[in-house]
């Protein structure tokens, strides 16, 4: 049987550039937007719009909506990813710089590994893993602890705590997704999760009273452009590039976005967002990223 032709190299490079740069820059776009648009409302608008586009596109390709028994799983994953994870990120970026937000969210890899050990049994605890987890925790401590005199101001503790909860929620959703019954189409599954999560965020926004005193007409063009960038580039274009890559490249190579995005976010925040890049930020970020790389390159147990 003939092997499928490998895609042109320029397409692969372009797809990697998109998931590296676009997903890395979305943290700054979120921070720009939440200065003027309430965080849960902004997140709701992003994911309702992006989810609607993805679902409509998949339906146009004659793919089916989730079956009745799949909707419960879709709602559970959507709640963890979009309400707890993304809702937490949007809220926290009112208090935490975009680059630091991306670094703290890189701890998702640490929590995913812990869930693989505790819930799935697909990973064993080793000395290397213990050291990697310890280095990652130390990195977060450097960023948050005001008692460490390493230069630069400490990260807001409440915001950092919310981000860690968001990272745990995303990691938990990844672990549960392996056990739950979800649509076989990755695009349809992601689209309906975005749409359902966006609706949940809209309900949360209304319940939190975000619309009281808020006027759409008062939002600047820059904030609307940030939201449009998140919808089009962050949720549609970059996700399409990601789905294309996982069909043409190894999961290990595609997964490198997890430790490239924080670096991109820190640089975007510093050069374009005027965010601080002191010794504390550098040391804490390096510790977290070293931990993530060590875990990502760790050999997996072979099946018996």
| Residue 272 to residue 281: CA distance in whole angstroms | 17
Per-residue pLDDT tens over the stretch 282-296: 999 999 999 988 888
| pLDDT (mean) for 69-92 | 96
Sign of CA dihedral 103, 278, 275, 263: negative
The pLDDT score that the predictor gives to residue 303 is: 45
| Residue 91 to residue 164: CA distance in whole angstroms | 13
C-beta neighbour count of 193 within 10 angstroms: 29
The pLDDT score that the predictor gives to residue 301 is: 59
Residue 116 has pLDDT above 60, yes or no: yes
Residue 208 has pLDDT above 80, yes or no: yes
The pLDDT score that the predictor gives to residue 51 is: 96
| pLDDT (mean) for 254-258 | 85
| pLDDT (mean) for 293-303 | 72
Mean pLDDT across the chain, nearest whole number? 91
Residue 26 has pLDDT above 70, yes or no: yes
Residue 1 has pLDDT above 70, yes or no: no
Q: DSSP H helical segments within the chain, as ranges?
A: 9-17, 23-34, 39-60, 68-78, 87-92, 98-105, 108-115, 127-144, 157-177, 186-207, 221-229, 238-246, 251-254, 257-271, 279-296
- What does the block give as tokens for 25? 């820059």
C-beta neighbour count of 155 within 10 angstroms: 27
| pLDDT (mean) for 75-94 | 97
Residue 243 Cα to chain centre, angstroms = 15
| pLDDT (mean) for 202-222 | 96
| pLDDT (mean) for 83-107 | 96
Kindly give, in sequence order, each residue whose CB lies less than 8 Å from that of residue 7, ignoring residues fewer than 6 positions away: 248
- What does the block give as tokens for 108? 């998702």
CA atoms within 13 A on the CB side of 278: 12
Per-residue pLDDT tens over the stretch 142-184: 999 887 777 678 899 999 999 999 999 999 998 888 889 999 8
C-beta neighbour count of 203 within 10 angstroms: 13
How far, in Å, are 67, 102, 145, 236, 280 from residue 140 at the CA level? 41, 12, 8, 31, 10
| Residue 182 to residue 77: CA distance in whole angstroms | 9
CB-CB contact of 54 with 232 (8 Å): no
Binned at pLDDT 50, 70 and 90, residue 125 comes out as: confident
């Amino acid at each position: 049987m003939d092997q499928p032709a490998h895609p042109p190299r320029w397409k692969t490079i372009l797809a990697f550039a998109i998931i590296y740069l676009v997903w890395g820059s979305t943290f700054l776009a979120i921070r720009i937007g939440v200065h003027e648009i309430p965080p849960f409302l902004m997140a709701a608008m992003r994911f309702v719009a992006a989810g609607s586009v993805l679902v409509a596109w998949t339906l146009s390709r004659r793919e089916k909506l989730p079956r009745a028994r799949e909707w419960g799983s879709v709602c559970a994953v959507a709640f963890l990813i979009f309400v707890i994870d993304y809702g937490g990120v949007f809220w926290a970026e009112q208090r935490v710089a975009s680059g630091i937000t991306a670094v703290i969210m890189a701890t998702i890899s640490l929590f995913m590994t812990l869930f693989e050990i505790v819930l799935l049994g697909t990973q064993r605890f080793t000395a290397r893993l213990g050291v990697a987890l310890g280095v990652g925790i130390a990195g977060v401590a450097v960023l948050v602890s005001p008692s460490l005199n390493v230069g630069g101001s400490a990260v807001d503790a409440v915001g950092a705590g919310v981000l860690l909860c968001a990272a745990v929620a995303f990691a938990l959703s990844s672990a549960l997704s392996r056990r739950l019954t979800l649509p076989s189409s990755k695009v349809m599954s992601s689209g309906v999760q975005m749409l359902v999560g966006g609706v949940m965020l809209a309900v949360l926004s209304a319940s939190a009273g975000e619309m009281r005193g808020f006027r759409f007409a008062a939002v600047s063009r820059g904030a609307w452009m940030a939201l449009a960038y998140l919808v089009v580039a962050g949720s549609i274009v970059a996700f399409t590039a990601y789905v294309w890559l996982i069909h043409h490249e190894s999961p290990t190579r595609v997964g490198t976005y997890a430790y490239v995005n924080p670096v991109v976010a820190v640089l975007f925040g510093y050069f374009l967002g005027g965010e601080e890049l002191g010794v504390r930020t550098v040391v804490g970020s390096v510790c977290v990223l070293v931990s993530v790389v060590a875990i990502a390159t760790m050999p997996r147990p072979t099946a018996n």
